[in-house]
Structure 1
Amino acid sequence: MRTNDHASIGDLLNQAEVLAEDYDDYDTEAARQRVSTRADRTDPGDRATPRPPVAAHEQAARDLDLAVALIVDTPQAAAALERFADDDRPDPEGAVVFAALLHLARAHDAAQFWWQFAAGGGNRTAAFCLSLAHGRRAEFSDARHWRAEARRLNAPDGATRAPAARPLLPESIRHQLLTQCHSGSRPTLPARLEAVINRLPVDPDHDFGTIPRPVPTLTRDLPRGHQAPPSAGRPGPDADA
């Protein structure tokens, strides 16, 4: 099934103001340019290779991968995730970052769960990601719904938060994710970082299955590729969540 109601990734990023509203001092256009510059430096011949057109659901999957790579590349991502893990009432901004990590760890249903949580809290970036998540499954009616929600939601009126003291992921890994997106490959976390995500405590959900939840040490565990044992009383996740 194909649809002609699919805008380019640039158009959708601009229309949804993805990242710019949640991370006010982050330059999304500069990030997209960085993707191209890094990849050209890695493989100059790739620029001259024409690429065949792709189906709408395949393009949505690529666009979602790029959006996710940009989300975890933002300087505010670590601080947002820390708030999300520590707060008794998780905020939508941190849920967007956590969902991006789950997507990179191939926990797509769990990522959708947390994007829906964030979109329910009024986060436009989450609604934008949901439109692409449904599009990659060829669920174009749902994709149009969430694209409309992304356009409808208002930007937050709070003050700009200070950047995180440290990035969420090491520079080499963020570079790798963006370069993989540019080359058309699916961005993936190194095995040691994916294992940190897979060992998180989980909760069952009727619609989405097993849902990982963050722990307060997550932003410290990710760069090192380590995971502290779950606290007493917390259920351990399945081996391959």
Structure 2
Amino acid sequence: MTDDLAPAARGRVERLLSLARTRDRYADYDVPAAEARLRARLSARARRTAPAVFVAWSPAWTEPAPGAAGTLGDPPAPGGRAAPDADRAWWDLTDMSLAVLRAPDAPRDLDRFIRDRCAGRTGARVFACLLHLADHGDGARFWWQFAAGAGDGTAEYCLFLDHSCRGEYHDAAFWCGELVRHGFVPDRVWGDRAAATAARRLPEPPVVHFSEHHDPDLGAIPLPEPPLVQDLRALAAAAP
């Protein structure tokens, strides 16, 4: 690169190049944790191409508590809380989303959410679960975060599972801590999982009518459209 320069200039350039250094080599970077996150994301992509048959992975919901059954210790989450296995977290999240959408008040909550211009944590949670089942993961996460910020425990649980199935263990540990702090127990809110989600089938991902608002800071935000309420009623009617 310096061959075409005058000798004096070439010398200065070579001295400057010799002083170049990488400022941060990330000596504390957790390579096993990064590999686990990549494996979880690849697994999630493979699941999206599988037939849309949703069955309960376990007879019980994953408990957001230290030492819960079915958790993995590698990689560990901060504070000693291990995140659930990515596959189990995905099944839990899918079954929880179905349970939310098939609740008797779900269409009413979603309709109110739309009419109130996206205000209300319960409607936000319902919309997020619809987005999850339709494979709009980023939009689902946005509205779960909205609902969780307003104090919705089920949305916090969905975020705990969402981060776990993506291999984002530090974020999963944060929501696990929030759930434990608030005393959230899935069985108390949604009942026994074995009875609620014994065999759930959808012929294909649901159609979700929504528009997108592009925020300069937050990016694309999905917004529900009125036909979505009828979509939800049709989904509930498809229950086995």
Counterpart position of 2:60: 10
Task: Select 2:138's aligned residue among 81, 96, 109.
Answer: 109
Gaps of 5+ in 2: 1-32, 37-57, 66-83, 185-196, 236-240
1:216 CA drift (Å): 3.3
* Superposition TM-score, scaled by structure 1 size: 0.53
Gaps of 5+ in 1: 3-7, 16-54, 156-176, 181-186, 226-241
Mark the structure with the bigger radius of gyration.
Answer: 2
- CA deviation vs aligned residue, 1:145-165 (integer Å, no higher than 9, x gap): 11221233378xxxxxxxxxx
Amino acid at match of 1:69: L
Question: Aligned-pair RMSD on alpha carbons?
Answer: 3.2
User: Which structure has greater strand proportion?
Assistant: 2
Q: Secondary structure, in 3 states, of the residue corresponding to 1:131? A: helix
Counterpart position of 1:146: 175
CA contact (8 A) 1:104 1:189 kept: no
CA contact (8 A) 1:70 1:178 kept: no
CA contact (8 A) 1:113 1:208 kept: no
Task: Select 2:223's aligned residue among 213, 225, 235.
Answer: 213
CA contact (8 A) 2:64 2:180 kept: no
Counterpart position of 2:128: 99
Task: Select 1:84's aligned residue among 88, 108, 113.
Answer: 113
User: Are positions 1:179 and 2:199 aligned together?
Assistant: yes
Q: Secondary structure, in 3 states, of the residue corresponding to 1:106? A: coil
Amino acid at match of 1:213: L
Rounded to whole Å, the distance in 1 between the matches of 2:116 and 2:166 is 32
Amino acid at match of 2:88: Q
Ranges of 4+ aligned residues in structure 1 off by more than 4 Å: 205-209, 221-225
Task: Select 1:204's aligned residue among 207, 211, 214.
Answer: 214
Q: What are the equivalent positions in structure 2 for 1:3-152 lying under 5 Å apart?
A: 10-12=60-62, 56-88=85-117, 90-152=119-181
Counterpart position of 2:6: none
Q: Secondary structure, in 3 states, of the residue corresponding to 1:75? A: coil
Q: What are the equivalent positions in structure 2 for 1:185-196 lying under 5 Å apart?
A: 190=204, 193-194=206-207
1:9 CA drift (Å): 7.4
1:73 CA drift (Å): 1.3
Give percent identity, aligned residues only. Answer: 36
